[in-house]
């Protein structure tokens, strides 16, 4: 679509992961001016990890405009981005609960669920979206600590939060996990990240069968290259400059272009959809 920018991009690289939206050029589109809600999530409550920016912000805006209250989980250093996301939720007339903390820590995962239940009384939707990644040129460059951090943040938190949330989910509850095109097409420079996304895809499929009798669904969304702060914070200059140019659409996707997939999976329209993976990859086939 012509309204979305194509590379090359002239944006500064960022030193801190997962990066700041305010430092990006061009700015990502989260649907601030375009997403129109239709009450598809009226009365629901959702937890969104990585809810401060990128895909998480786009999902939060869409969920709020569809009628849901949202709890936003984010790293403490991302408070400015989280407050901006919360402001958009407020403008939609819904409640936003800010929950800073590092989800690789077990006690933080428990606090996220406990505080959400205390505030809203239940959790209808869990969006496991937060992730860590960083490019490395060789296997030797991937330290054991970095490998563990990547798995604890990406796969470990998905397990812990799902396990903690399910007892508070009513029938019709929805678990939605962000995976990646890299779960199907692993990138050599993203070994740990790609492996975690494959693990989450498998975990979600097992959950779908395990939780079916409880009326709780588990699905995944697999984005392709998406223009978020994580890109200039974790990738090399030339890769960032030409990010998404090698795909069929010759550009990265914008966070706003994923929001509809999450809304569908969270809604009652997807009542018979479980164990599925929705690929939003800009034309790259995912089997």
Q: Which of 4, 35, 193, 272 is catalytic?
A: 193
Contact 85, 61 (CB under 8 A): yes
Site of tokens 């969104």: 48
Has 193 been annotated as catalytic?
yes
Helix-helix angle 157-165:191-210, to 10 degrees: 20
Distance CA 264, CA 180 (A): 18
Residue with tokens 């034309």: 283
Measured distance CA(225)–CA(251) in Å, rounded: 8
Q: Minimal CA–CA distance to 130: which of 187, 171, 76?
A: 76
Q: How far apart are CA 225 and CA 245, in angstroms?
A: 10
Q: What is the dihedral of CA 5, 18, 135, 175, to 10 degrees?
A: -90
Catalytic residues: 193
């Amino acid at each position: 679509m012509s309204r979305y920018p194509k590379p090359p991009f002239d944006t500064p690289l960022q030193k801190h992961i997962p990066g700041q939206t305010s430092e990006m050029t061009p700015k990502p589109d989260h649907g601030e001016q375009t997403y129109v809600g239709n009450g598809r999530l009226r009365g629901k409550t959702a937890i969104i990890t990585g809810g401060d920016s990128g895909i998480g912000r786009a999902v939060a805006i869409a969920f709020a405009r569809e009628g849901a209250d949202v709890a936003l989980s984010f790293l403490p250093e991302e408070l400015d981005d989280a407050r901006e996301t919360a402001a958009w939720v407020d403008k939609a007339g819904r409640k936003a609960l800010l929950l800073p903390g590092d989800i690789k820590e077990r006690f933080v995962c428990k606090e996220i669920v406990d505080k959400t239940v205390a505030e809203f009384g239940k959790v209808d939707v869990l969006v496991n979206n937060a992730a860590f990644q960083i490019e490395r040129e060789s296997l030797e460059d991937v330290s054991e600590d970095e490998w563990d951090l990547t798995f604890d943040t990406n796969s470990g938190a998905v397990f812990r939060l799902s396990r903690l949330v399910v007892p508070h989910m009513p029938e019709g509850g929805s678990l939605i996990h962000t995976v990646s095109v890299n779960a199907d097409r692993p990138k050599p420079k993203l070994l740990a990240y790609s492996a975690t996304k494959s693990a989450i895809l498998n975990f979600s499929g097992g959950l779908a069968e395990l939780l079916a009798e409880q009326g709780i669904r588990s699905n995944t969304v697999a984005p392709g290259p998406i223009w978020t702060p994580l890109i200039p914070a974790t990738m090399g200059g030339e890769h960032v400059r030409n990010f998404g140019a090698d795909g069929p659409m010759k550009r990265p996707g914008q966070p706003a272009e994923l929001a509809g997939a999450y809304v569908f999976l969270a809604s009652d329209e997807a009542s018979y959809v479980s164990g599925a993976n929705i690929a939003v990859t800009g034309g790259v086939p995912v089997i």
